[in-house]
Protein backbone atom coordinates (compact mmCIF):
# COMPACT_ATOMS: atom_id res chain seq x y z
CA UNK A 1 0.00 0.00 0.00
CA UNK A 2 1.49 3.41 -0.97
CA UNK A 3 2.37 5.94 1.73
CA UNK A 4 -0.22 8.71 1.82
CA UNK A 5 1.24 12.15 2.58
CA UNK A 6 -1.46 14.77 1.96
CA UNK A 7 -0.32 18.39 1.81
CA UNK A 8 -3.64 19.51 3.31
CA UNK A 9 -4.90 17.90 6.52
CA UNK A 10 -7.81 15.53 5.81
CA UNK A 11 -11.14 16.01 7.58
CA UNK A 12 -11.44 13.53 10.45
CA UNK A 13 -15.22 13.49 10.36
CA UNK A 14 -15.66 11.01 13.17
CA UNK A 15 -17.16 11.28 16.63
CA UNK A 16 -15.10 8.45 18.13
CA UNK A 17 -11.79 6.62 17.63
CA UNK A 18 -11.24 2.88 18.12
CA UNK A 19 -8.92 0.86 20.38
CA UNK A 20 -7.50 -2.62 19.81
CA UNK A 21 -7.76 -3.68 23.44
CA UNK A 22 -7.83 -2.53 27.07
CA UNK A 23 -4.08 -1.94 27.06
CA UNK A 24 -4.48 0.76 24.42
CA UNK A 25 -7.29 2.30 26.44
CA UNK A 26 -5.08 2.47 29.55
CA UNK A 27 -2.26 3.99 27.49
CA UNK A 28 -4.67 6.73 26.39
CA UNK A 29 -5.35 7.74 30.00
CA UNK A 30 -1.75 7.30 31.18
CA UNK A 31 -0.23 9.29 28.32
CA UNK A 32 -2.67 12.12 27.45
CA UNK A 33 -2.19 13.61 24.03
CA UNK A 34 -0.68 10.53 22.39
CA UNK A 35 -3.88 9.49 20.65
CA UNK A 36 -7.57 10.31 20.31
CA UNK A 37 -10.66 8.76 21.85
CA UNK A 38 -13.70 11.01 21.43
CA UNK A 39 -14.08 14.18 19.35
CA UNK A 40 -15.68 16.07 22.22
CA UNK A 41 -12.30 15.74 23.94
CA UNK A 42 -10.01 16.28 20.94
CA UNK A 43 -9.81 15.72 17.20
CA UNK A 44 -6.91 16.10 14.73
CA UNK A 45 -8.70 18.97 12.97
CA UNK A 46 -9.45 20.95 16.13
CA UNK A 47 -5.89 20.34 17.32
CA UNK A 48 -4.47 21.65 14.06
CA UNK A 49 -6.49 24.85 14.37
CA UNK A 50 -5.56 25.27 18.05
CA UNK A 51 -1.86 24.74 17.37
CA UNK A 52 -1.79 27.21 14.48
CA UNK A 53 -3.53 29.94 16.49
CA UNK A 54 -1.32 29.28 19.50
CA UNK A 55 1.78 29.68 17.32
CA UNK A 56 0.51 33.08 16.17
CA UNK A 57 -0.30 34.26 19.71
CA UNK A 58 2.78 32.76 21.40
CA UNK A 59 1.00 30.89 24.19
CA UNK A 60 1.50 27.66 26.11
CA UNK A 61 -1.38 26.15 24.15
CA UNK A 62 -4.88 26.77 22.84
CA UNK A 63 -8.33 25.19 23.00
CA UNK A 64 -10.86 25.70 20.21
CA UNK A 65 -14.56 26.00 21.01
CA UNK A 66 -17.91 26.04 19.27
CA UNK A 67 -18.20 29.86 19.10
CA UNK A 68 -16.65 33.09 20.30
CA UNK A 69 -19.19 33.18 23.12
CA UNK A 70 -18.24 29.69 24.27
CA UNK A 71 -14.59 30.80 24.25
CA UNK A 72 -15.44 33.68 26.60
CA UNK A 73 -17.47 31.33 28.79
CA UNK A 74 -14.66 28.75 28.93
CA UNK A 75 -12.06 31.40 29.83
CA UNK A 76 -14.17 32.82 32.66
CA UNK A 77 -15.23 29.46 34.09
CA UNK A 78 -11.64 28.25 33.97
CA UNK A 79 -10.75 30.97 36.47
CA UNK A 80 -13.98 31.70 38.37
CA UNK A 81 -16.45 29.79 40.50
CA UNK A 82 -19.60 30.72 42.40
CA UNK A 83 -18.88 33.55 44.81
CA UNK A 84 -16.11 35.08 42.69
CA UNK A 85 -16.02 38.58 41.25
CA UNK A 86 -15.13 39.77 37.74
CA UNK A 87 -14.04 43.19 36.53
CA UNK A 88 -15.10 44.05 33.00
CA UNK A 89 -14.26 47.03 30.81
CA UNK A 90 -17.23 49.32 30.40
CA UNK A 91 -16.83 49.32 26.62
CA UNK A 92 -17.22 45.66 25.70
CA UNK A 93 -19.07 43.54 23.15
CA UNK A 94 -22.74 43.37 24.09
CA UNK A 95 -22.77 39.58 24.07
CA UNK A 96 -19.97 39.49 26.64
CA UNK A 97 -21.93 41.87 28.83
CA UNK A 98 -25.08 39.76 28.59
CA UNK A 99 -23.17 36.58 29.41
CA UNK A 100 -21.65 38.01 32.57
CA UNK A 101 -24.54 40.17 33.78
CA UNK A 102 -27.51 37.96 32.96
CA UNK A 103 -26.18 34.41 32.92
CA UNK A 104 -23.05 34.02 35.04
CA UNK A 105 -24.70 36.09 37.76
CA UNK A 106 -27.28 33.26 38.02
CA UNK A 107 -24.54 30.89 39.17
CA UNK A 108 -23.06 33.32 41.67
CA UNK A 109 -20.36 35.18 39.71
CA UNK A 110 -20.56 38.93 40.26
CA UNK A 111 -19.39 41.66 37.88
CA UNK A 112 -18.36 45.29 38.19
CA UNK A 113 -17.94 47.41 35.07
CA UNK A 114 -14.85 49.59 35.05
CA UNK A 115 -15.44 53.07 33.59
CA UNK A 116 -13.07 53.98 30.78
CA UNK A 117 -11.59 56.78 32.87
CA UNK A 118 -10.57 54.23 35.53
CA UNK A 119 -9.15 51.59 33.21
CA UNK A 120 -5.64 51.85 34.65
CA UNK A 121 -6.61 52.93 38.18
CA UNK A 122 -9.31 50.50 39.29
CA UNK A 123 -7.85 49.73 42.75
CA UNK A 124 -11.03 50.81 44.54
CA UNK A 125 -13.10 48.32 42.52
CA UNK A 126 -11.01 45.26 43.39
CA UNK A 127 -12.55 42.96 45.99
CA UNK A 128 -10.97 40.07 47.93
CA UNK A 129 -12.79 37.64 45.60
CA UNK A 130 -11.89 39.40 42.31
CA UNK A 131 -10.41 36.83 39.94
CA UNK A 132 -10.10 38.42 36.51
CA UNK A 133 -10.36 41.52 34.36
CA UNK A 134 -12.00 41.18 30.92
CA UNK A 135 -11.21 43.68 28.16
CA UNK A 136 -10.80 43.89 24.40
CA UNK A 137 -7.71 44.93 22.45
CA UNK A 138 -10.00 47.30 20.53
CA UNK A 139 -13.49 47.79 21.88
CA UNK A 140 -16.62 46.87 19.99
CA UNK A 141 -18.01 49.05 18.45
CA UNK A 142 -16.27 52.38 19.19
CA UNK A 143 -12.66 51.21 18.83
CA UNK A 144 -11.27 52.30 22.18
CA UNK A 145 -7.70 50.92 22.21
CA UNK A 146 -6.52 49.40 25.49
CA UNK A 147 -2.91 49.65 26.61
CA UNK A 148 -2.37 45.97 27.37
CA UNK A 149 0.99 46.57 29.06
CA UNK A 150 -0.46 49.09 31.52
CA UNK A 151 -3.53 46.95 32.15
CA UNK A 152 -1.35 43.92 32.84
CA UNK A 153 0.70 45.90 35.37
CA UNK A 154 -2.47 46.70 37.29
CA UNK A 155 -3.87 43.17 37.20
CA UNK A 156 -0.54 41.69 38.32
CA UNK A 157 -0.50 44.12 41.23
CA UNK A 158 -3.80 42.67 42.44
CA UNK A 159 -2.95 39.07 41.48
CA UNK A 160 -5.91 38.76 39.10
CA UNK A 161 -5.97 37.29 35.61
CA UNK A 162 -6.09 39.55 32.56
CA UNK A 163 -8.33 38.09 29.84
CA UNK A 164 -8.19 39.92 26.51
CA UNK A 165 -10.56 39.50 23.56
CA UNK A 166 -8.24 39.97 20.57
CA UNK A 167 -10.88 39.43 17.89
CA UNK A 168 -10.71 42.90 16.31
CA UNK A 169 -6.91 43.16 16.25
CA UNK A 170 -5.90 39.53 15.58
CA UNK A 171 -2.34 38.38 16.38
CA UNK A 172 -1.21 39.93 13.10
CA UNK A 173 -1.55 43.34 14.79
CA UNK A 174 -1.27 42.60 18.52
CA UNK A 175 -0.15 39.68 20.66
CA UNK A 176 -1.65 40.37 24.12
CA UNK A 177 0.14 37.46 25.83
CA UNK A 178 3.49 39.03 24.96
CA UNK A 179 2.25 42.31 26.46
CA UNK A 180 1.30 40.74 29.79
CA UNK A 181 -2.16 39.21 29.34
CA UNK A 182 -2.81 35.79 30.89
CA UNK A 183 -5.51 34.50 28.55
CA UNK A 184 -6.51 35.58 25.02
CA UNK A 185 -9.78 34.76 23.33
CA UNK A 186 -11.01 35.09 19.74
CA UNK A 187 -14.21 34.66 17.90
CA UNK A 188 -12.67 32.52 15.15
CA UNK A 189 -15.90 33.22 13.28
CA UNK A 190 -14.44 36.62 12.46
CA UNK A 191 -10.95 37.35 11.10
CA UNK A 192 -9.16 34.10 11.92
CA UNK A 193 -11.47 32.07 9.70
CA UNK A 194 -12.35 35.12 7.67
CA UNK A 195 -14.89 33.92 5.12
CA UNK A 196 -18.22 34.15 6.98
CA UNK A 197 -18.76 30.39 6.80
CA UNK A 198 -17.63 29.18 10.24
CA UNK A 199 -18.85 29.68 13.80
CA UNK A 200 -15.98 28.99 16.22
CA UNK A 201 -13.89 30.33 19.09
CA UNK A 202 -10.48 29.80 20.64
CA UNK A 203 -8.83 30.35 24.03
CA UNK A 204 -5.04 30.76 24.23
CA UNK A 205 -3.28 30.62 27.60
CA UNK A 206 0.11 31.76 28.84
CA UNK A 207 0.23 29.25 31.71
CA UNK A 208 -0.18 25.48 31.37
CA UNK A 209 -2.43 25.27 34.44
CA UNK A 210 -4.89 27.76 32.89
CA UNK A 211 -4.84 25.76 29.66
CA UNK A 212 -5.69 22.57 31.54
CA UNK A 213 -8.63 24.26 33.23
CA UNK A 214 -9.93 25.63 29.91
CA UNK A 215 -9.67 22.17 28.38
CA UNK A 216 -11.59 20.67 31.31
CA UNK A 217 -14.37 23.25 30.93
CA UNK A 218 -14.56 22.70 27.18
CA UNK A 219 -14.80 18.92 27.55
CA UNK A 220 -17.22 18.88 30.48
CA UNK A 221 -19.59 21.56 29.18
CA UNK A 222 -19.46 20.19 25.62
CA UNK A 223 -18.12 23.39 24.06
CA UNK A 224 -16.07 21.56 21.44
CA UNK A 225 -15.83 22.51 17.77
CA UNK A 226 -16.78 20.05 15.03
CA UNK A 227 -14.09 18.52 12.80
CA UNK A 228 -15.45 20.09 9.61
CA UNK A 229 -15.62 23.62 11.03
CA UNK A 230 -12.16 23.16 12.51
CA UNK A 231 -10.90 22.19 9.06
CA UNK A 232 -12.61 25.17 7.41
CA UNK A 233 -11.22 27.58 10.00
CA UNK A 234 -7.69 26.18 9.69
CA UNK A 235 -7.91 26.62 5.92
CA UNK A 236 -9.07 30.23 6.31
CA UNK A 237 -6.32 30.94 8.82
CA UNK A 238 -3.67 30.31 6.18
CA UNK A 239 -4.46 33.62 4.46
CA UNK A 240 -4.91 35.68 7.64
CA UNK A 241 -1.75 37.77 7.23
CA UNK A 242 -2.54 38.69 3.63
CA UNK A 243 -6.17 39.46 4.41
CA UNK A 244 -5.36 41.65 7.41
CA UNK A 245 -3.00 43.83 5.36
CA UNK A 246 -5.77 44.52 2.87
CA UNK A 247 -8.46 44.95 5.54
CA UNK A 248 -6.26 47.54 7.28
CA UNK A 249 -5.32 49.44 4.12
CA UNK A 250 -8.93 49.61 2.95
CA UNK A 251 -10.23 50.65 6.37
CA UNK A 252 -7.80 53.56 6.55
CA UNK A 253 -8.92 54.78 3.10
CA UNK A 254 -12.58 54.48 4.09
CA UNK A 255 -12.04 56.17 7.48
CA UNK A 256 -10.29 59.14 5.88
CA UNK A 257 -13.06 59.46 3.31
CA UNK A 258 -15.81 59.36 5.95
CA UNK A 259 -13.97 61.78 8.25
CA UNK A 260 -14.02 64.41 5.49
CA UNK A 261 -17.65 63.86 4.46
CA UNK A 262 -20.13 66.62 5.29
CA UNK A 263 -22.89 64.15 6.24
CA UNK A 264 -20.74 62.17 8.68
CA UNK A 265 -20.59 63.65 12.18
CA UNK A 266 -17.93 61.42 13.74
CA UNK A 267 -15.62 58.55 12.81
CA UNK A 268 -14.04 56.07 15.24
CA UNK A 269 -10.92 54.48 13.74
CA UNK A 270 -7.54 54.17 15.48
CA UNK A 271 -5.69 54.88 12.23
CA UNK A 272 -6.91 58.48 12.17
CA UNK A 273 -4.51 60.92 13.82
CA UNK A 274 -7.45 62.47 15.68
CA UNK A 275 -8.20 59.19 17.47
CA UNK A 276 -7.30 59.60 21.17
CA UNK A 277 -5.25 56.37 21.22
CA UNK A 278 -3.74 56.74 17.75
CA UNK A 279 -0.13 56.52 18.94
CA UNK A 280 -0.86 53.54 21.19
CA UNK A 281 -2.67 51.80 18.31
CA UNK A 282 0.33 52.42 16.07
CA UNK A 283 2.71 50.88 18.61
CA UNK A 284 0.53 47.88 19.53
CA UNK A 285 -0.50 47.24 15.94
CA UNK A 286 2.87 47.57 14.25
CA UNK A 287 1.59 50.39 12.06
CA UNK A 288 -1.72 48.68 11.22
CA UNK A 289 -5.06 49.59 12.75
CA UNK A 290 -7.49 46.83 11.86
CA UNK A 291 -10.43 46.50 9.50
CA UNK A 292 -13.18 47.74 11.82
CA UNK A 293 -14.51 51.28 12.17
CA UNK A 294 -17.67 53.01 13.25
CA UNK A 295 -19.16 56.33 12.20
CA UNK A 296 -22.14 58.45 13.13
CA UNK A 297 -24.60 60.20 10.87
CA UNK A 298 -27.67 62.08 12.12
CA UNK A 299 -29.12 60.41 15.24
CA UNK A 300 -32.27 59.36 13.43
CA UNK A 301 -33.24 55.79 12.59
CA UNK A 302 -34.90 56.82 9.33
CA UNK A 303 -31.64 58.46 8.23
CA UNK A 304 -29.88 55.14 8.94
CA UNK A 305 -32.53 53.30 6.93
CA UNK A 306 -32.10 55.68 3.97
CA UNK A 307 -28.35 55.17 4.07
CA UNK A 308 -28.67 51.37 4.19
CA UNK A 309 -31.22 51.27 1.38
CA UNK A 310 -28.99 53.52 -0.72
CA UNK A 311 -26.14 50.99 -0.69
CA UNK A 312 -25.98 48.57 -3.60
CA UNK A 313 -23.04 46.34 -2.74
CA UNK A 314 -22.49 46.63 1.03
CA UNK A 315 -25.05 44.52 2.92
CA UNK A 316 -26.44 45.03 6.40
CA UNK A 317 -25.21 41.94 8.26
CA UNK A 318 -24.95 41.75 12.07
CA UNK A 319 -21.49 40.18 12.15
CA UNK A 320 -18.05 41.19 10.94
CA UNK A 321 -14.65 40.39 9.45
CA UNK A 322 -15.58 38.59 6.25
CA UNK A 323 -13.73 39.22 3.01
CA UNK A 324 -16.72 41.26 1.83
CA UNK A 325 -17.53 44.60 3.44
CA UNK A 326 -20.68 44.78 5.57
CA UNK A 327 -22.36 47.23 7.91
CA UNK A 328 -24.03 46.64 11.24
CA UNK A 329 -26.13 48.67 13.65
CA UNK A 330 -24.89 48.31 17.26
CA UNK A 331 -28.00 49.85 18.82
CA UNK A 332 -30.20 47.18 17.24
CA UNK A 333 -27.83 44.21 17.19
CA UNK A 334 -24.63 43.70 19.20
CA UNK A 335 -25.54 46.13 22.01
CA UNK A 336 -29.30 45.78 21.89
CA UNK A 337 -29.49 44.16 25.34
CA UNK A 338 -27.81 47.06 27.13
CA UNK A 339 -30.01 49.53 28.96
CA UNK A 340 -30.58 52.91 27.32
CA UNK A 341 -28.43 54.45 30.03
CA UNK A 342 -25.55 52.07 29.26
CA UNK A 343 -25.89 52.70 25.53
CA UNK A 344 -25.83 56.45 25.99
CA UNK A 345 -22.97 56.35 28.48
CA UNK A 346 -20.61 54.60 26.07
CA UNK A 347 -21.78 56.64 23.08
CA UNK A 348 -23.90 54.18 21.11
CA UNK A 349 -26.61 56.44 19.71
CA UNK A 350 -29.21 56.08 16.96
CA UNK A 351 -26.86 57.31 14.24
CA UNK A 352 -23.91 55.02 14.96
CA UNK A 353 -23.11 52.54 12.20
CA UNK A 354 -20.37 49.90 12.42
CA UNK A 355 -18.47 49.10 9.25
CA UNK A 356 -16.51 45.89 8.71
CA UNK A 357 -14.22 46.75 5.81
CA UNK A 358 -13.47 43.87 3.45
CA UNK A 359 -10.70 43.25 0.95
CA UNK A 360 -12.39 44.58 -2.19
CA UNK A 361 -10.86 47.35 -4.28
CA UNK A 362 -11.19 50.48 -2.10
CA UNK A 363 -12.63 52.55 -4.95
CA UNK A 364 -15.63 50.22 -5.07
CA UNK A 365 -16.28 50.77 -1.38
CA UNK A 366 -15.99 54.55 -1.55
CA UNK A 367 -18.37 54.68 -4.51
CA UNK A 368 -20.99 52.64 -2.68
CA UNK A 369 -20.64 54.61 0.55
CA UNK A 370 -21.09 57.84 -1.40
CA UNK A 371 -24.19 56.34 -2.98
CA UNK A 372 -25.65 55.63 0.47
CA UNK A 373 -24.71 58.98 1.98
CA UNK A 374 -26.20 60.84 -0.99
CA UNK A 375 -29.63 59.59 0.10
CA UNK A 376 -29.47 61.58 3.34
The pLDDT score that the predictor gives to residue 1 is 65
Contact 298, 173 (CB under 8 A): no
CATH class entry, domain 22-237? alpha beta
Q: Is residue 221 annotated as part of the catalytic site, yes or no?
A: no
Q: Is the CATH number of domain 240-373 3.40.50.720?
A: no
* Neighbour-count burial for 200-235, b at 16+ CB within 10 Å, e otherwise: bbbbbbbeeebbbbbbebbbeeebbbbbebbbbbbb
Where exactly are the structural domains of the chain? 22-237, 240-373
Q: Is residue 190 annotated as part of the catalytic site, yes or no?
A: yes
Catalytically annotated residue among 131, 161, 175, 190: 190
Q: What are phi and psi of 254, to 5 degrees?
A: -65, -45
The pLDDT score that the predictor gives to residue 340 is 79
Q: Count the Cβ atoms, other than its own, within 10 Å of residue 197.
A: 12
The pLDDT score that the predictor gives to residue 26 is 92
The pLDDT score that the predictor gives to residue 347 is 82
Q: Is residue 93 annotated as part of the catalytic site, yes or no?
A: yes
Catalytically annotated residue among 28, 36, 40, 84: 40
Contact 300, 350 (CB under 8 A): yes
Catalytically annotated residue among 93, 191, 269, 289: 93
The pLDDT score that the predictor gives to residue 112 is 98
SS3 for 287? Answer: coil
Per-residue pLDDT 10s for the chain (376 aa) are: 677 788 889 999 999 999 999 999 999 899 877 889 999 999 999 999 999 999 999 999 999 999 999 999 999 999 999 999 999 999 999 899 999 999 999 999 999 999 999 999 999 999 999 999 999 999 999 999 999 999 999 999 999 999 999 999 999 999 999 999 999 999 999 999 999 999 999 999 999 999 999 999 999 999 999 999 999 999 999 999 999 999 999 999 999 999 999 999 999 999 999 999 999 999 999 999 999 999 999 999 999 999 999 999 999 998 999 999 999 999 877 777 777 787 777 788 999 999 999 999 999 999 999 999 999 9
Catalytically annotated residue among 165, 182, 191, 289: 165
Amino acid sequence: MPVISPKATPIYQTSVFTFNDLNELETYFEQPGNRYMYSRYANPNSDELANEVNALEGGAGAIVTSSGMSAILAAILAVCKAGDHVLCAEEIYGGSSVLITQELSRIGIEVTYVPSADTYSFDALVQPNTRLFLAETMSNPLLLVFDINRLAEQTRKHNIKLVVDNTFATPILTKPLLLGADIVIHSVTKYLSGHSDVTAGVVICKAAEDLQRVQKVMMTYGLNLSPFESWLAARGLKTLRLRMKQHCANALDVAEYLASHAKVEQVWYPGLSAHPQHRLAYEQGGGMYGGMLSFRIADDTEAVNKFMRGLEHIPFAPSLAGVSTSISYPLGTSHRSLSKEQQQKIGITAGVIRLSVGIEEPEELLTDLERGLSKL
